[in-house]
Amino acid sequence: MAEHNPFLLAANTPDLDARLLPLLRSKPELASAQDSHGYSLLHAAASYNHIDLLRALVNEFHVDVNLRDEDDETCLFVAESVEVARCLVEELNVDTAAQNEDGQTAREKIESEDDYPEVAAYLSQGSSAIREVSQNAHPPPLPPNVRLNIGSQIPEEEANAQEPDPEFRRRIEELASRENFHTEEGQRELRDLITDAVRDVSNDGQASQRRRVG
**pLDDT tens by residue, 49-106:** 999 999 999 999 999 999 999 999 999 999 999 999 999 999 999 999 999 999 999 9
Residue closest to 69 by CA, chosen among 33, 97, 104, 94: 33
Q: Does the pLDDT value for residue 118 go beyond 70?
A: yes
Which residues, in sequence order, are bridge partners of residue 40? Answer: 34
Report the chain's mean pLDDT, rounded to a whole number.
78
Long-range CB contacts (< 8 A, 24+ apart) of 201-209?
201/150, 201/152, 201/154, 202/152, 202/153, 204/152, 204/154, 205/152, 205/153, 205/154, 206/153, 208/154, 208/158, 209/153
Specify the CATH number of the domain 2-129.
1.25.40.20
What amino acid occupies position 1? M
d(CA 80, CA 208) in angstroms, rounded, equals 38
> How many angstroms separate the CA atoms of 59 and 157, rounded?
45
Flag whether the pTM goes above 0.85: no
If pLDDT is split at 50, 70 and 90, which confidence band does 23 have? very high
pLDDT in the model for residue 194: 72
The amino acid sitting at 27 is K
Report, as an integer, the average pLDDT of 129-137: 43
Residue 212 has pLDDT above 90, yes or no: no
The arithmetic mean of pLDDT across residues 179-193, rounded, is 72
What residues contact residue 21 under an 8 Å CB cut-off, 6+ apart? 53, 56
pLDDT classification of 176: cutoffs 50, 70, 90:
confident
38 versus 176: which is more confidently predicted?
A: 38
CA distances from 138 to 128, 142, 160, 188 (A): 18, 12, 29, 11
Task: Report pLDDT digits (tens) over 35-48.
Answer: 999 999 999 999 99
